[in-house]
Structure 1
């Protein structure tokens, strides 16, 4: 038994000290040391991520009990049909269709919708197979980068949303080596049909796109486009610059001129008097000008034109400005077209599938304009274009035509061109240009309603 010693000071423990020791002991026993709590930073969601989360939420929670999973049903308004009639073809009842129409009418005047307008619906059906279907969601594009959606909230009510993507205006610089064909390579690099067609027209002034272009030849295209945040191209502007095998084309519109033209680096017009080929894309020459064994008759005879192997529907363009002389059926030529040009030249086109819009005798056409489409009408073994040239009424070899250049800019026109050329050169050097903007446009056939749009 411990003896009491009066010389020693007794030890006393304060209650708060005991509490602190106990807290430290508990923490140590738990294997952790106390750390201050910190709030986790939640990353901001992009509009695409928010839209995806909303879609999944409504898909999982928007379907009422007793109904099947929503089925996507596209709808197109027919001639003489109202919006309610169109949406009822999905299987929903009259009251439901009326409620959907009333919801959408807060944003657009549905009475002005025209035939041909398309929209998407999500429809659920009763599990027992009896009764009307029910609309779970509806999406209607109202502009290149905007749309309206109607969906069911968690309590079953219809909810209207107006969604709008941000649109950026860009100037693209595309450089690549030809792989396969110039047209196919340009398409893979993001150039749309209009840009590819214009590039082929320009290059067609200087090259035979079938025989002069080889794999690994480098080309560059510079063009404007409008693209949404998720990378969807909604509009393509002008081709500002094109380069192939040392030939360069700068777009420039002279003050007071009705249309833009293309010039080389010195300001000399790149618009030749006659394009080398009348097709807007590279094709193979399947039969040249001269004597040959006719593929149908089997006799050796003079082939008074050039045949281009091309698929049905390939656009045929006017190689020079002119006036249509004939657009009719003509024996073995099938659908035939003849155009009169300057300097006593005329061009002819055989085996066409159809003519271009508005093409008829007496119609004026401009260089590069689509005047017809390749086919296999008349005495033909397959789709191709038979192309002929006359000079002063005599057939000549189209490959022998001499191509001449036109105007050389001077004075104030040349100064303005040099300024535009410098701007394009800066864009090429920087690899492109981007100008953010928000596009607000409505689809034809939709008019805004007087009521205020409900955004949520």
Structure 2
């Protein structure tokens, strides 16, 4: 009993010492992880929101600006309604990263402007963003104390080889676009397949397709560049992109090295059409008499592009009676193609103009004796009209020797990409030409 109080005192003393040690032990600060581009953008948006409603001013309004011919950057900023001295301060801030006197006419930038609530006085710039490259931009924003702050953002870019596929639902081109194919890739594939198929009648729902193409995307997922179509497959027919050594021309070949480019495409339209009248005898929709229809009518929307089915030379581009606006092209092997009821011609279409296969030469219309927008398409062989649906022409060349060996190596590379489901290569951002590091 005499020892117990002393023991309790000792325990209490030790406890206090331990607690004191914990209380007065120096705090260990942990290093914060670096922010991603998306997190930085989110914080910037929050800062704009907080700083964007100064006393007497309304909420910031997004105002796009484009520099006009003969106008300086500072003058363009002043058109947003801010005071001249503030426009000068913005220009001075931006000049820490670039030469504002050399910004060309046509350059666009976005501003966030807060206007006075009473409608009197100058507006205030809350933020400004100018894109200086495909993956770079400069931002001028206000800090919480009202000072202007400059920041340069360079996003990482990723070079991808995309393998995209699916089943046709509706038209091939629209389905490919829905699946994520860029417009240029979808059009290029449709043009290739038009050598083998009538895309409106031969392609059915659930037919499978697959495309391989290159593209470059930023960290935020924005596509800044799209490369060529490398591979296209539809209903068992496949094309591989190949450029022969020493040639500047891109061609497409099947798996055996045979050029898939036929001498004549099946139709002069790529998409959005149907056959409304075939070659042969029919009752004329205007006269009501039964007579020979010496071509094929394709019902299509006004302005649908008409393409040349083969290389050739324009012979006629003029008004011709019931045909309305008429175009005739001379091809090889004694063939000529004719197009009626056009709304207009493509740029440069005049007699003597050379055209290449797949080139847009005119646009669907309803001129002349026509009951609605459609294309009347004729084919002539040595001066005699023939049924366009019955034309059969030879295929292109077949690779051999060193060209065939080079093609097989490229085909093997593309096949490996398809088997892997695509490729990705990330590239670190580089300083955009003409810019210097931003000082904040």
For the criterion TM > 0.5, the same-fold answer is yes
Q: Show the counterpart of 2:6.
A: 13
The 1:331/1:68 distance shift into structure 2, 3 A limit, reads same
Q: Show the counterpart of 1:108.
A: 98
- How far did residue 38 of structure 1 move? 9.3
Q: Show the counterpart of 2:340.
A: 350
Say which one has the larger Rg.
1
Moved more, 166-175 or 330-339: 330-339
Contact kept in structure 2, 1:334 and 1:351, CA below 8 Å: yes
Residue 454 (1) aligns with residue 422 (2): no
Q: Tell me the SS of whatever aligns to 2:65.
A: strand
Return the alpha-carbon distance in structure 2 between the equivalents of residues 9 and 193 of structure 1.
Answer: 95
The 1:196/1:46 distance shift into structure 2, 3 A limit, reads same
Q: Show the counterpart of 1:216.
A: 206
1:129-149 alpha-carbon deviations (Å, 9 max, x no partner): 211111111112222222121
| Equivalence map 1:273-312=2 (5 Å) | 273-281=263-271, 283-312=273-302
Moved more, 216-225 or 378-387: 378-387
- How far did residue 284 of structure 1 move? 1.2
Q: Show the counterpart of 2:24.
A: none
The 1:10/1:455 distance shift into structure 2, 3 A limit, reads closer
- How far did residue 233 of structure 1 move? 1.4
- How far did residue 214 of structure 1 move? 0.3
Contact kept in structure 2, 1:70 and 1:122, CA below 8 Å: yes
Q: Show the counterpart of 1:206.
A: 196
Instruction: Name stretches of at least 5 consecutive residues in structure 2 with no aligned partner.
Output: 20-26
- How far did residue 455 of structure 1 move? 5.2
Number of residue pairs matched by the alignment: 432
Return the alpha-carbon distance in structure 2 between the equivalents of residues 111 and 22 of structure 1.
Answer: 69
Residue 372 (1) aligns with residue 366 (2): no
Residue 75 (1) aligns with residue 65 (2): yes
1:92-143 alpha-carbon deviations (Å, 9 max, x no partner): 2222222222322333334444443322111111223211111111112222
Larger relative contact order (Cα-Cα within 8 Å, sequence gap ≥ 6): 1
Moved more, 419-428 or 124-133: 124-133
Instruction: Name stretches of at least 5 consecutive residues in structure 1 with no aligned partner.
Output: 1-7, 26-36
The counterpart of 2:109, out of the listed 104, 115, 119, is 119
The 1:292/1:22 distance shift into structure 2, 3 A limit, reads same
Residue 417 (1) aligns with residue 407 (2): yes
Return the alpha-carbon distance in structure 2 between the equivalents of residues 211 and 180 of structure 1.
Answer: 12
- How far did residue 23 of structure 1 move? 9.3
1:344-403 alpha-carbon deviations (Å, 9 max, x no partner): 111122222333333332121111122222233333333222211111111111101103
Return the alpha-carbon distance in structure 2 between the equivalents of residues 220 and 258 of structure 1.
Answer: 26
Return the alpha-carbon distance in structure 2 between the equivalents of residues 251 and 378 of structure 1.
Answer: 42
Q: Show the counterpart of 1:29.
A: none
* CA RMSD between the two structures: 2.6
Q: Give me the TM-score of the superposition, normalised by structure 1.
A: 0.88
Return the alpha-carbon distance in structure 1 between the equivalents of residues 428 and 393 of structure 2.
Answer: 45
- How far did residue 10 of structure 1 move? 5.3
Q: Tell me the SS of whatever aligns to 1:196.
A: helix
Return the alpha-carbon distance in structure 1 between the equivalents of residues 101 and 4 of structure 2.
Answer: 94
The 1:331/1:118 distance shift into structure 2, 3 A limit, reads farther
The 1:10/1:157 distance shift into structure 2, 3 A limit, reads closer
